[in-house]
Structure 1
Amino acid sequence: MTNISPSAQSELPVRPTFIDMLISIKKSLGAPVILSVVIVIGLALHDMAEVPGRLIFTGTALFEIFPFLMLSVGTAAYLKASGADQLVARAFEGNPVRAIAVASVFGALSPFCSCGVIPLVAGLLAGGVPLAPVLAFCIASPIMDPEMFILTAASLGIDFALVKTAAAIGMGLFAGYVTLGISKTGLLANGLRDIATPSCGSSLQSEIDVQWAFWKTSSRNIQFWTEGRKTSWFLGRWLTFAFLLESLMVAYLPAENVAEVLGDGNAFALPLAALIGIPAYMNGYAAIPLVRGLMDLGMSPATALTFMLAGSVTCIPAAIGIWSLVKPKVFSLYLGFALAGSLIAGFLYQIALG
């Protein structure tokens, strides 16, 4: 009988446990796929006859939005491959008052998703950029980007997409200038965690390499297709999950209840939408079909805007990312901007609609 030494035993491969396999599957598929499967299984257990109708609804919705989905994917891939996303760093140069305005606009128009913006923000803070313009960018960025504008216009109309873009810029300005004023009092001193604290001599990289005709370079060509596949997988999963949720709302949520609680007849509809939107942590893309379904059931456009704004700023990737960079007092300010900014935008939109 051959004896195996303790050192040799330690080098033997460890068989993954059932829990390890579940974690691996979750990482591969992602939360939206897992949740979609859970919903379908739960629906089948509740009423198997409903499953085909809900799946047909989801498939039809995906088919209708597919051209816009491809356009948004192509836009994101082009901006990444050409290096145009690097231009956002220039928004933070110069006078803070000007930087806040430019950062708000860039935040609303830049192609960064909630996850992708965090490394940039960490680098900006570590590079010594003031908190005010960075926070303006952080507020505006999760609300709107080119892909989301296309999908919002396709589902909720071009007018709503334009209003949401204006609201993103406005909330960024509001957050930036209020933060600038508070910063002058010293209340936000030492508000950054160590990972985002500037070190001596740190500065932003000034050289930006943008190549609009990216297809002339092999590496950028590869990056275009890689980014396209990644964005397609990301958006496809979340939209499938969202359309599945919408199908359930249409089937099981009484229209009169939605109209009563979130319609124009309820004076507290806007505050309620903001208070629901913040803890909902709703992904901005998933919120589009969800809000469309609620509007079809009676939710007012102003209430829909308030819900989407509050939820976008506090969606899980954005909220966790900001929390990892700043201390609780700054994070509380971030949540306060989400609540106050979404309410102000909602009330202004309600007034504009008459």
Structure 2
Amino acid sequence: MVDQSLDPISPKFDISSNIVSWLKSLPKDRVLWTILVLLLTTALLTGAGQALDFAATMGGSLVHTGIFIIISVLIAAYIKASGADQLIARALSGRQEKAVLTAAVFGALSPFCSCGVVPLIAALLAAGVPLAPVMAFWLASPVIDPEMMVLTWGVLGLEMAVAKTISAIAIGLLGGGAVMLLQRAGYLKDVLLARAKPACGTSSCGPSKLPETKPVWAFWQESQRRGTFMGEIGTMGWFLTRWLSLAFLLEAMMVSWVPLDQVAAQLSTLGPWSVPAAAAVGVPAYLNGYAAIPLVRGLMDIGLQPGAALAFMVAGGVTCIPAAIAVKALVNTQTFLLYLTIAMVGSISVGLLYAGYVTL
């Protein structure tokens, strides 16, 4: 029997009929308790003003990303209600090598933020899309998007923008390839945490195991599909609200208490070790992709090598707190650690390759 208090996307939240059950589940919600404990601890240690500032920052971040989250939740709910998730699953369950390449490229070029892509990832995993292309998409998406590409071009130059885009695709390919090899060796068979599994009972169904049904694009004409749509909105919306609130709170605490700019400035003094050191700093530290660009520009002006700058941005983007917490909320510890390992290895690799390129 699964403890639904640990379920990152619990089916208890059904806005049509189960609001009472949802309210009763709140006292057992460990995510909400964690947020409350962090705020109370902050109030006790540093004063109520600091705790209120953190809470305000958390709320502001939710509002700032709200439109993207709402759009992504609506898309995910539409995909599930219409049955398009099975269509996508069959399309990505053919030759995994091709699927991984497609997912990595689409992830790097998609407009979704690292938070907004979570509903789509969850829907695809539950529908039976193999983990390899999902991991490729998940790793590539937070590194860059079209808007960030243009901003990087304007501040750091076209070469760095191209390098970052290629890095996103490369890390996606690395992650997807690693997952394929591990699955062929018998690992990563069931990665979802306490979530409704697809019909075949695994998160990596083959195309032959998926139902051959056509999507019903006008799903609102069927009451059951309308219920699925509304239920998915409530379920996924509540999931994102809880987990992203925790992520943004942790972000606010880290930005306030950890002098990342001072730590990053030390990287320019490490010479050839700056690339792995930059990745090591970027992986555990929150680094918003947009905020990182002017910071990296300043660091490069005082001597940070381009390879180290690239590793710093890529590592921080892949493992930013919202993205990392979303990964941990959906998959088991083994898969989460693989995600972090690929982020580290991939960031160091692209940084070293770029450093070698600029010295040619």
The TM-score range, normalised by the shorter chain, is 0.5 to 0.7
Tell me, which stretches of 5 or more residues in structure 1 are unaligned?
Answer: 1-23, 125-133, 324-330
CA distance in 1, matches of 2:34, 2:75: 28
Pairwise CA RMSD: 4.9
**CA apart distance, 1:44:** 0.9
**C-alpha contact 1:83 1:209 (8 A) present in aligned 2:** yes
Task: Answer yes or no: is 1:239 the counterpart of 2:235.
Answer: no
In structure 2, what is the equivalent of residue 213 of structure 1?
Answer: 218
In structure 2, what is the equivalent of residue 36 of structure 1?
Answer: 35
**C-alpha contact 1:273 1:307 (8 A) present in aligned 2:** no
Tell me, which stretches of 5 or more residues in structure 2 are unaligned?
Answer: 1-24, 111-116, 153-160, 191-200, 300-308
CA distance in 1, matches of 2:53, 2:337: 43
Task: Answer yes or no: is 1:140 the counterpart of 2:152.
Answer: no
Q: Residues 54, 170 of structure 1: CA spacing in aligned structure 2 closer, same or farther, 3 A cutoff?
A: same
In structure 1, what is the equivalent of residue 65 of structure 2?
Answer: 65
Task: Answer yes or no: is 1:225 the counterpart of 2:230.
Answer: yes
**C-alpha contact 1:77 1:228 (8 A) present in aligned 2:** yes
Task: Answer yes or no: is 1:81 the counterpart of 2:81.
Answer: yes
In structure 1, what is the equivalent of residue 21 of structure 2?
Answer: none
CA distance in 1, matches of 2:249, 2:118: 26
**CA apart distance, 1:232:** 1.9
Q: Residues 210, 196 of structure 1: CA spacing in aligned structure 2 closer, same or farther, 3 A cutoff?
A: closer
**CA apart distance, 1:43:** 1.0
**C-alpha contact 1:140 1:171 (8 A) present in aligned 2:** yes
Aligned residues: 294
Task: Answer yes or no: is 1:170 the counterpart of 2:170.
Answer: yes
**C-alpha contact 2:312 2:347 (8 A) present in aligned 1:** no
Q: Residues 75, 166 of structure 1: CA spacing in aligned structure 2 closer, same or farther, 3 A cutoff?
A: farther
Q: Residues 321, 247 of structure 1: CA spacing in aligned structure 2 closer, same or farther, 3 A cutoff?
A: closer
Q: Deviations over 1:37-83 (max 9, x none)?
A: 11110111112332333333333333333333322332322222232
**C-alpha contact 1:82 1:211 (8 A) present in aligned 2:** yes
**C-alpha contact 2:77 2:229 (8 A) present in aligned 1:** yes
> Percent of counterpart pairs with the same letter?
31
**CA apart distance, 1:233:** 1.5
**C-alpha contact 1:84 1:210 (8 A) present in aligned 2:** yes
CA distance in 2, matches of 1:149, 1:221: 35
**CA apart distance, 1:234:** 1.9
**C-alpha contact 2:82 2:225 (8 A) present in aligned 1:** yes
Equivalent residue of 1:54, what SS?
helix
Moved more, 236-245 or 299-308: 299-308
Q: Deviations over 1:254-312 (max 9, x none)?
A: 35423325x6565545534645676x5x9xxxx676x6677787685641321332575
Equivalent residue of 2:98, what SS?
helix
**C-alpha contact 2:311 2:347 (8 A) present in aligned 1:** no
**CA apart distance, 1:85:** 2.3
In structure 1, what is the equivalent of residue 4 of structure 2?
Answer: none
AA in 1 matched with 2:39: V
Q: Residues 227, 345 of structure 1: CA spacing in aligned structure 2 closer, same or farther, 3 A cutoff?
A: farther
In structure 1, what is the equivalent of residue 314 of structure 2?
Answer: 305
**C-alpha contact 1:258 1:294 (8 A) present in aligned 2:** no
CA distance in 2, matches of 1:55, 1:179: 38
**C-alpha contact 1:306 1:345 (8 A) present in aligned 2:** no
CA distance in 2, matches of 1:89, 1:233: 25
In structure 1, what is the equivalent of residue 54 of structure 2?
Answer: 54
